Structures are given as structure tokens and as C-alpha cells.
Amino acid sequence: MRTNEEIAQRLGITVNTVRYHIQNLLNKTEFENRLSLAVNAKVPGIVVNENDRQHFLNK
């Protein structure tokens, strides 16, 4: 799983912004943690490929 720092760098935003958006997603969904968010992502392009999905599942 990517760290907040890695996500921020890839998107060109601050780490605090990453934390803010992850927390908002958790508050607006039934998921309890970011792993659940990643594994269940349904928006095209969030989970890039099956290898990424398997990486999250194996953690």
C-alpha cells in the first residue's frame, strides 16, 4: 500500500490533503480503514490493475 507521502508526491498535493481526503472517504462510506477503501474501490482508475488489488489483499 502506498504511504500518504507517496500519494501526495504522485498527485502533487500535501500529505495533510491526502489525510483529509482519506478521512472524508472513511466518514462517507461503511469502510473502517483505508485498506478496505482500496480493496473495494469501484471508480475506474483507482485500483490500477489486478496486481495492485492483490497487493492490498495480501497485507
AA letter at 16: N
pTM over 0.75: no
Confidence (pLDDT) at 55: 60
The answer for residues whose C-beta is within 8 angstroms of residue 2's C-beta and 6 or more apart is: 10
Answer whether 33's CB lies under 8 Å from 26's CB. Answer: yes
Confidence at 2, pLDDT banded by 50, 70, 90 = confident
Summarize pLDDT for 10-57 with one digit per residue, the tens.
999 999 999 999 999 999 988 899 888 888 876 655 555 566 556 655
DSSP state string for the chain? ---HHHHHHHHT--HHHHHHHHHHHHHHSS-SSHHHHHHT--STTTS-SHHHHHHHHT-
Residue 1 pLDDT greater than 90, yes or no: no
Structure confidence at residue 14 (pLDDT):
96
